[in-house]
Amino acid sequence: MKVRQRGGAAKDLADDWFFETAIRLHRAGEGAPYTGMKPAGLDEGPVVPRAERAIETGDATEAIDFIVDTVRDDLQHRFQHLIEKKNYDPDDVAAGRAYVQAFIDFVVYSHHLYQYVKSGGGHGTTGGGDHSH
């Protein structure tokens, strides 16, 4: 606070140190590395505005539907790709490898997605345990 009271550049430096420390502590509490402060105005993607709107309105339907539809579409695409690769010629090594890759893309991705959801998720979470702020 004493440095901040000096005003000007000292105030800016004190503010930066404060926020940097707060972010470091938050990330450490999640078991995640500190990757620096991010500038304001970064693209927050399509989910954050929907989540914020849900909080404002008290209705999460739009945010939930968007996420569920996105996951459903992605899984359906991965599954369709797998099915297209399934009946490969056993003598075609490249086709066999393509099938295995499609299999992994669908099955392992589905498994990891499920584990992430059941672990409590959250930015910086590596799985396991409850995550709350």
* Domain assignment present for 53: no
36-46: pLDDT as tens digits? 877 776 777 89
* Domain assignment present for 116: yes
Per-residue CA distances from 87 to 82, 99, 110, 119 (Å): 10, 9, 21, 35
101 has pLDDT over 70: yes
Same domain assignment for residues 37 and 75:
no
Same domain assignment for residues 28 and 67:
no
61-74: pLDDT as tens digits? 999 999 999 999 99
From CA 103, how far away is CA 101, in angstroms rounded?
5
Q: What is the CA radius of gyration of the chain?
A: 22
87-97: pLDDT as tens digits? 999 999 999 99
By CB atoms closer than 10 A (0-12, 13-18, 19+), residue 106 is buried
* Structural domain of 9: 1-42
Residue 12, pLDDT score: 86
* Domain assignment present for 25: yes
130 has pLDDT over 70: no
* Domain assignment present for 6: yes
* Domain assignment present for 51: no
The proportion of the chain whose per-residue pLDDT surpasses 70, expressed as a percent, equals 89
106 has pLDDT over 80: yes
From CA 31, how far away is CA 125, in angstroms rounded?
7
Same domain assignment for residues 111 and 80:
yes
10-22: pLDDT as tens digits? 988 888 889 889 8
Residue 115's SS3 state is helix
Q: What is the mean pLDDT of the chain?
A: 87
Same domain assignment for residues 64 and 103:
yes
76 has pLDDT over 60: yes
